[in-house]
């Protein structure tokens, strides 16, 4: 896109971009699929994700948002890759949580110590 192509009052370009109108349907389908996958992964993370979050859980949620954003936005990124990465993060988080129960020193290293 050239500098001359950018006009502040070009509402069509601002709202729909340079992509063809059919992309709106594709983005909607991608969003629905990735939203369902994200809800599935969050449910598998457990009840703690609905209450108080630890540092690693907060990091996981930020990562999940970034993961689903790319495949949701356009045709250059496939949905399958986003779902695979979501599942990988799920396995990583479950493994970390299990290690926290096994080793107190591992938990202290990853979470820090509690303040009074």
Q: Does residue 77 belong to any structural domain of this protein?
A: yes
Nearest to 55 by CA among 97, 85, 16: 97
CB atoms within 10 A of CB 22: 8
Q: Does residue 61 belong to any structural domain of this protein?
A: yes
Output the six-digit token pair for 87.
């599942």
Name the domain count of the chain.
Answer: 1
| Per-residue pLDDT tens over the stretch 46-95 | 665 556 777 777 777 787 788 778 777 766 667 777 778 778 878 887 88
- C-alpha 37/C-alpha 88 separation (Å) is 12
The confidence score (pLDDT) of residue 68 equals 77
This prediction has a pTM of 0.54
Number of H helices, E strands in the chain: 5, 0
- C-alpha 5/C-alpha 7 separation (Å) is 6
Parent domain of 28: 20-111
Q: Does residue 11 belong to any structural domain of this protein?
A: no
């Amino acid at each position: 896109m050239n500098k001359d192509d950018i006009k502040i009052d070009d509402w069509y370009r601002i709202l729909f971009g340079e992509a063809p109108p059919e992309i709106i349907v594709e983005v909607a389908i991608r969003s629905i699929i990735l939203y369902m996958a994200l809800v599935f992964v969050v449910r598998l993370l457990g009840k703690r994700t609905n209450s108080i979050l630890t540092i690693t859980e907060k990091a996981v949620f930020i990562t999940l948002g970034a993961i689903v954003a790319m495949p949701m936005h356009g045709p250059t990124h496939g949905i399958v890759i986003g779902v695979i990465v979501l599942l990988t993060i799920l396995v990583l988080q479950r493994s970390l949580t299990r290690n926290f129960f096994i080793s107190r020193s591992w938990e202290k290293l990853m979470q820090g110590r509690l303040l009074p």
